[in-house]
């Protein structure tokens, strides 16, 4: 039987077509002889030429600095400055990586003191995060998101989490996913300000996963970056609250969806220069991010402009993708809401829905007898009987409800 995998956020695997401009530029960079091929649009060949000039030896086969190609880091800084309406960004504060979560966990695990470092972590959260924290010997400090409010962050719950954690670990950071993975929730400005004030009062580093910022599917909410809000709150916060924000090709589904290119970036704000140097040193211990992925980042953040030969095609392709994503999210929500025993909060952004299972007592008792979580058993049955593969929605033991992702 054919297996339908709806657990992963891989758009190309699901049939999404790649963006012509991106693949054309990468093709020319990989095979520079195509620079003279008139069948490629002029802006494609000019962009490929500029990107090759940024690579050592004019080749994508060369290594790059541990923090990434300077040309691409400058493009990222320009994108952030434009996104945040003039709030300045500097290339020296931008680090390109194939796994920013892993780097920050390693940084936190290197903290001083004998007490284990703790990270306030939303429940639910990205399914890989608990494993990363465990591997880094960093304590996961769970805080529950409020399902009835569309999976919103609750300030009282943050205070409860940090208070109960002290004694068994030393909370040093709070992890935020905005838009939420796997919930699709998008925070309001007021909610972001509350979290920033909380982090300032508790002396916590803010680690904000914003990889789905370009995949907004709700009409009643706009994405606002944590950095923009932080700087608009004044020097009291902008110069004291340490912030690490991340974005990646994986999350840029509105345009690219190039998950396999394995490239993203993190911008670090208000961190001690010696710690920044330590981050760069840690990146040196890993193989640098694949060059084609770094180049794809540049193309993601600096697409064709009006008047460029590729502009019309690029706009048509990306608009189709965004429209399809929004329509599919609504169709999936309607379908799930009509199924017996399932309810679901609407998503405002990102690529996931996070439906709740209202399981009969007989089923939960069977799961208990088999010594397996009820939502895991549900996923197994769904795969065996219908060929549909979904992920179980673990909450780290913070709730008795059951979900799938």
Token pair for 301: 């953040």
- Among 38-42, 74-78, 218-222, 227-231, the minimum mean pLDDT is found in 218-222
Greater model confidence, 18 or 295: 295
Q: Which domains does the chain have, with CATH numbers?
A: 4-10+323-403 (3.90.1150.10), 19-62+304-312 (1.10.287.1970), 70-300 (3.40.640.10)
- Among 107-111, 158-162, 180-184, the minimum mean pLDDT is found in 107-111
pLDDT confidence of residue 146:
95
- Tens of pLDDT along 235-245? 999 999 999 99
**10, pLDDT greater than 70:** yes
Query: Are 213 and 223 contacting, i.e. CB atoms less than 8 angstroms apart?
Result: yes
**Please, what sign has the CA dihedral across residues 13, 17, 22, 27?**
positive
**Residue 211 CB contacts under 8 Å (≥ 6 apart), including other chains:** 181, 246, 247, 248, 250, 251, 252, 264
pLDDT confidence of residue 196:
98
Which of the listed ranges 44-58, 213-227, 316-330, 379-393 does the model predict with the highest average pLDDT? Answer: 44-58
CA dihedral 252, 253, 255, 257 (to 10 degrees): 90
Token pair for 244: 């690490």
**254, pLDDT greater than 60:** no
**397 band by pLDDT with thresholds 50, 70 and 90:** low
Cα–chain center distance at 291: 20
Query: CA–CA separation, 104 vs 369, rounded Å?
Result: 40
**Residue among 243, 237, 251 nearest 352 (CA):** 251
Q: Find the mean pLDDT for residues 220-237.
A: 93
Token pair for 2: 């054919």
- Give the DSSP per-residue string, 167-185: TTBEEEEEEEESS-TTT--
pLDDT confidence of residue 323:
85
**169, pLDDT greater than 80:** yes
pLDDT confidence of residue 396:
57
Strand duo 205-209 + 243-248: pairing: parallel
| Average pLDDT value over all residues in the chain | 89
pLDDT confidence of residue 370:
95
Q: Angle of helix 100-109 relative to helix 273-284, nearest 10 degrees?
A: 120
Query: CA–CA separation, 386 vs 2, rounded Å?
Result: 9
**276 band by pLDDT with thresholds 50, 70 and 90:** confident
Q: Find the mean pLDDT for residues 201-229.
A: 88
**112 band by pLDDT with thresholds 50, 70 and 90:** low
pLDDT confidence of residue 110:
64
- Tens of pLDDT along 256-268? 667 777 788 999 9
Percent of the chain past pLDDT 90, that is, above it, reads 62
pLDDT confidence of residue 379:
94
**Residue among 36, 177, 194 nearest 119 (CA):** 177
């Amino acid at each position: 039987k054919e297996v339908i995998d709806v657990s992963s956020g891989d758009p190309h695997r699901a049939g999404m077509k790649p963006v012509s401009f991106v693949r054309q530029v990468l093709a020319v960079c990989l095979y520079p002889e195509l620079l003279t091929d008139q069948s490629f649009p002029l802006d494609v060949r000019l962009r490929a030429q500029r990107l090759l000039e940024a690579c050592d030896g004019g080749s994508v086969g060369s290594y790059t600095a541990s923090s990434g190609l300077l040309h691409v880091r400058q493009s990222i800084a320009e994108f952030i400055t434009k996104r945040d309406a003039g709030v300045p960004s500097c290339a020296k504060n931008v680090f390109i990586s194939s796994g920013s979560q892993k780097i920050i966990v390693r940084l936190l695990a290197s903290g001083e003191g004998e007490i284990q470092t703790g990270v306030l972590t939303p429940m639910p959260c990205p399914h890989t995060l608990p494993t990363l924290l465990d591997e880094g010997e960093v304590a996961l400090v769970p805080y529950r998101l409020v399902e009835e409010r569309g999976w919103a962050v609750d300030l009282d719950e943050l205070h409860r989490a940090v208070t109960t954690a002290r004694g068994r670990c030393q909370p040093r950071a709070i992890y935020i996913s905005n838009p939420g993975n796997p919930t699709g929730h998008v925070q309001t400005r007021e909610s972001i300000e509350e979290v920033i004030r909380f982090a300032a009062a508790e002396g916590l580093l803010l680690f904000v996963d914003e990889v789905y910022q370009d995949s907004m599917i709700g009409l009643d909410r706009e994405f606002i970056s944590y950095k923009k809000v932080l700087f608009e709150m004044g020097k009291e916060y902008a110069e004291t609250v340490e912030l690490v924000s991340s974005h990646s090709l994986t999350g840029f589904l509105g345009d690219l969806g190039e998950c396999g290119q394995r490239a993203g970036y993190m911008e670090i704000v208000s961190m001690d220069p010696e710690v920044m140097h330590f981050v760069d040193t840690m990146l040196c211990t890993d193989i640098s991010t694949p060059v084609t992925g770094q180049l794809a980042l540049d193309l993601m953040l600096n697409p064709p402009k009006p008047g460029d030969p590729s502009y019309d095609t690029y706009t048509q392709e990306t608009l189709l993708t965004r429209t399809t994503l929004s329509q599919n999210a609504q169709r999936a929500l309607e379908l799930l809401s009509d199924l017996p025993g399932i309810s679901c909060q609407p998503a405002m952004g990102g690529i996931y829905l996070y439906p709740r299972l209202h399981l009969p007592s007989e089923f939960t008792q069977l799961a208990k007898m088999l010594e397996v979580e009820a939502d895991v058993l549900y996923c197994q049955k769904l795969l065996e009987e219908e060929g549909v593969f979904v992920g179980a929605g673990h909450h780290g033991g913070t709730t008795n409800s059951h979900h799938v992702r």
